[in-house]
Structure formats: structure tokens, C-alpha cells
């Protein structure tokens, strides 16, 4: 087996392992993660997905089939807005921005998430509470 074939085989094995370590997002969580990502400033859809993946150490993967319906849902709710522009590779793209209403919703969702995570931790680790 050539060095190139060994490297490709190793890369394929690492990619399969990374996919197996990924976690499914709970309903509503993607919306919160998109809002949080946009808090850093306007960006296009593909960059939002990559930022979520990168910031989760590649545990969370955002598929286009989930991302764009979520973006449309957030637009309908008035939590984000968009403007047309050119991406890094000079392709036409919509750049999404967080609205004031979206910032408030992000605070609400983050508070709910914190309460939920604390409650789940209490159930999973009851000895820590005793």
C-alpha cells in the first residue's frame, strides 16, 4: 500500500470516528446557537454552520437541511434580518444579522437552557447534591 493510500485510509477512519462522536441537537437548540453565533456580527449561512461546528469542537454538525429552515423561521419571528452581499469567495450570499428582538430572545433562550442543563445534571448526578 502506498503512502498516499495509507494517508487516505487514515483520513477516512478519522472522519468516520468524528461523525460517530457528533451529537444530535435538541429541538429549538439550533435556533439558540444561530442567534448566539450572530451576536458576533453579520454572517452568511455557511459561515454560521462552520462557526457552530468549530466552536463545538466538531461535536455539532449543522446540515443545510436544518440550517436554512431555521434561518427562515428566525426571519419570520423577527429575530434576525438579512442583507445581500458577497461571500469570501465572491459568491452571492445573504448575510444574517441579529435584531434587538433577537438579542432579547437569545437572553431568554440562554436562561432556559441554563435551567434545563442544571435540572438534567441534578437527575444524572444526584449524589453530587447529597
What pLDDT sits at residue 86? 85
Q: What secondary structure letter does DSSP report for 90? A: S
Quick: pLDDT tens for 4-48.
Answer: 665 666 665 555 555 566 666 766 899 999 999 999 999 999 999
Domains of the chain, start order: 22-129 (1.10.10.10)
Contact 48, 39 (CB under 8 A): no
What pLDDT sits at residue 91? 87
Torsions phi, psi for 99 (to 5 deg): -95, 170
Residues facing residue 96 across a β-bridge: 43, 82
Is the pLDDT confidence value at 55 over 90? yes
- The predicted model gives 36-64 an average pLDDT of 94
Quick: pLDDT tens for 75-104.
Answer: 999 999 999 998 888 889 999 999 999 999
Amino acid at each position: 500500500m502506498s503512502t498516499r493510500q495509507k494517508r487516505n485510509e487514515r483520513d477516512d477512519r478519522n472522519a468516520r470516528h468524528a461523525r460517530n462522536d457528533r451529537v444530535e441537537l435538541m429541538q429549538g437548540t439550533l435556533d439558540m446557537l444561530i442567534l448566539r453565533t450572530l451576536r458576533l456580527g453579520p454572517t452568511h449561512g455557511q459561515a454560521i454552520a462552520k462557526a457552530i461546528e468549530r466552536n463545538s469542537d466538531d461535536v455539532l454538525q449543522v446540515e443545510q437541511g436544518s440550517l436554512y429552515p431555521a434561518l427562515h423561521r428566525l426571519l419570520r419571528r423577527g429575530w434576525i434580518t438579512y442583507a445581500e452581499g458577497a461571500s469570501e469567495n465572491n459568491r452571492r450570499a445573504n448575510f444574517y444579522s441579529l435584531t434587538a428582538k433577537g438579542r432579547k430572545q437569545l437572553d431568554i433562550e440562554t436562561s432556559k437552557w441554563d435551567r434545563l442543563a442544571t435540572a438534567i445534571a441534578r437527575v444524572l448526578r444526584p449524589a453530587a447534591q447529597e
